[in-house]
């Protein structure tokens, strides 16, 4: 357990965050962009739990932060999917390039 240093867990979460960022930049479909956001949120959660476990084992604050992040991510995903379904009804497409009414 103690042979893996904290930095290796941080490397994994950093790589996961930037994979999510790459997906957010290249995708044009709203659902796949939402998936990328979920990946980024998860990488942050891994960081919180790892810091809590390795640096402050006498406290539990990191665990609570990740619990609340998971809750808010669930609410965010639900609202985002409601908006996506509404957008699909009015535009017959969920491509971000097709929804340009508010573009200046």
- CA gap 50, 14 in Å, rounded: 13
- Helix or strand (DSSP H, E) at 6: helix 6-26
Q: Which residue in 44, 79, 96, 99 binds another protein (CB under 8 A)?
A: 79
Q: Which residue has the tokens 């357990």?
A: 1
| By CB under 8 A, residue 11 contacts another protein | yes
x/- map, 25-64, another protein, by CB under 8 A: xxxxx-xx-xxx-xx--x--xx--xx--xxxxxx-x--xx
DSSP state of 28: -
| By CB under 8 A, residue 96 contacts another protein | no
Nearer to another protein, 97 or 101 (CB): 97
| By CB under 8 A, residue 3 contacts another protein | yes
Q: Which residue has the tokens 């240093």?
A: 5
């Amino acid at each position: 357990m103690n042979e893996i240093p904290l930095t290796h867990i941080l490397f994994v979460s950093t790589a996961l965050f930037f994979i999510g960022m790459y997906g957010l930049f290249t995708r044009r479909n709203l659902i796949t962009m939402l998936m990328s956001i979920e990946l980024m949120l998860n990488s942050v959660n891994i960081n919180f739990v790892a810091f809590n476990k390795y640096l402050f084992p006498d406290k539990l604050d990191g665990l609570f932060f990740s619990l609340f992040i998971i809750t808010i991510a669930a609410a965010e995903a639900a609202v985002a999917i409601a908006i996506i379904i509404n957008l699909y009804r009015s535009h017959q497409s969920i491509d971000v390039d097709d929804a340009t009414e508010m573009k200046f």
